[in-house]
Amino acid sequence: MNNPEELSNLRKQIDSLDLEIVTKIQERAKIASIIGEIKKAKGEPIYRPDREKEVYEKIKKLNKGPLPDTALTSIYRELMSATIAIEKGLNIAYLGPEGSFSHQAVRARFGMSIQSLQFPSIPEVFKSVETGKCDYGVVPIENSSEGLVNSTLDMLVNSELQIYSEIYIKISLYLLGFDSDLSKITKLYGIKIANSQCKNWVAANLPNCEIIETSSTAKAAQIVAEKKEGAAIASKIAGDIYGLNTIRENIEDLPNNSTRFLIIGRSQCLPTGKDKTSMVFSLSDKPGSLFLTLKPFYEKNINLSKIESRPTRRNSWQYNFFVDFNGHEKDPEINEIISEIRDRATFFRILGSYPAGEPLS
């Protein structure tokens, strides 16, 4: 490739392709804007995770390389993000501040062009969507090593909002601050679940450190940046945003740590053929009541991906059962099972039927 003329010709080909690509992108955006106007006139949601999933699957089938599927998916995510922005301009609520893992989940699902608003607590994220201030909210529901986020579970029971979609985000935790000498760090800031994910590392490396809980990992980074003291357990992006140095990286105790986030909204997503349904119910305290309630799933060979219990807070020693299973509420077979459970339950609610996300290994 030492021939200057050949290199010049290749660059001209790229210039020509760039012109074509930009033209086609703008043509696509114009058509998408027309579709957006039609959806708006019909009262249909602008953001459609079922359609989003369909686009990604189509792109993967069309991909012949050399770029991997992940690269093309990222490109199309930003294309759709920019298109949605000019269609309506969605507002997405998330557990802040900026740089939190919830914020990363917003970017991973909606791209960089969507407007997002930070809130200091999970209940406030729900409230912003319930009141119409935001179109959708992004909240953590469970971590692969530490389990469920109880605040989100409680809000799902008491809110009329629906789970609209889900996304899994890899969690890499960093020790951030200004002083690289661990012996000089006397205060450690972090959200409870992140602190727990790093407890062995902290015990071995910061045994005498005062641990101060914060509302999020990003808030921990923000506090350290403002106080100019201590260290934070947070994400790399939080360190970049708040001007902190990386003291140690990947301090989580277990590798392949990930968190599942929910996108909550005021409506339900249409079936895609690969869906998940979440529900919550409580039962009379009788022998075999839970077994009989879940038996139809076994009989119809439908996989239960999760079952958890949590106190109802209505009566002492009574529990809500949270269940995730494969399928959509609108599937006839699923609808039949749901009717049976509703008849047996003392309390019952469908939390949402939505496209199943891909867990990270």
Give me the active site residues, please: 259, 261
Q: Which two tokens stand for residue 39?
A: 């959806």
d(CA 341, CA 345): 6
Q: Are strands 115-119 and 347-355 parallel, antiparallel or unpaired?
A: unpaired
- Whether the CB-CB separation of 180 and 236 falls below 8 Å is answered with no
